[in-house]
């Protein structure tokens, strides 16, 4: 579950490669990998710059995309939950 009061950051020792506009993340410690498309790329680029809160991520995306706050929050929440599930954040 995403905590809106927590600052999220990338896991250390994670290899991230750009591949035709998508990001491929590989955790060599666990053997897990994940491909990110679309707005997930933007979220990941924010996290590459440093720790970000849920609200900071949502606000940055709202400045770039014409979507409702509710839709943006839902997308960010799902993305962060998936990244937590794989242990990437």
Q: Which two tokens stand for residue 63?
A: 């400045």
User: Quick one: pLDDT at residue 20?
Assistant: 86
Span 11-26, average pLDDT: 87
Residue 76 or 16, more confident = 76
Is residue 25 included in any domain, yes or no?
yes
Residues of 63-73 as b/e, b for ≥16 C-beta within 10 angstroms?
Answer: eeeeeeeeebb
Q: Does the residue 4 lie in any domain? A: no
Task: Give the chain's domain count.
Answer: 1
- Quick: pLDDT tens for 24-83: 988 888 888 889 988 888 999 999 899 999 999 999 999 999 999 999 999 999 999 999
Residue 5 in any domain: the answer is no
Residues ≥6 apart with Cβ < 8 Å to 6? 53, 54
Any idea what the CATH number is for the domain that residue 23 is in?
3.90.930
Please state the separation of Cα 32 from the chain's center in Å.
16
Structural domain includes residue 50: yes
Closest by alpha carbon to 78, among 56, 60, 54, 50? 54
Structure tokens at 67: 């979507």
For 37, the domain range is 10-86
């Amino acid at each position: 579950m995403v905590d809106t009061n927590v600052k999220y950051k990338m896991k250390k020792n994670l290899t991230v490669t750009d591949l035709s506009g998508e990001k491929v993340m590989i955790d060599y410690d666990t053997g897990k990998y994940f491909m990110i498309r679309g707005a997930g790329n933007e979220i990941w680029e924010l996290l590459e710059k440093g720790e970000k809160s849920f609200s900071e991520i949502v606000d940055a995306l709202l400045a770039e995309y014409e979507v409702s706050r509710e839709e943006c929050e839902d997308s960010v929440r799902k993305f962060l939950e998936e990244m937590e599930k794989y242990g990437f954040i």
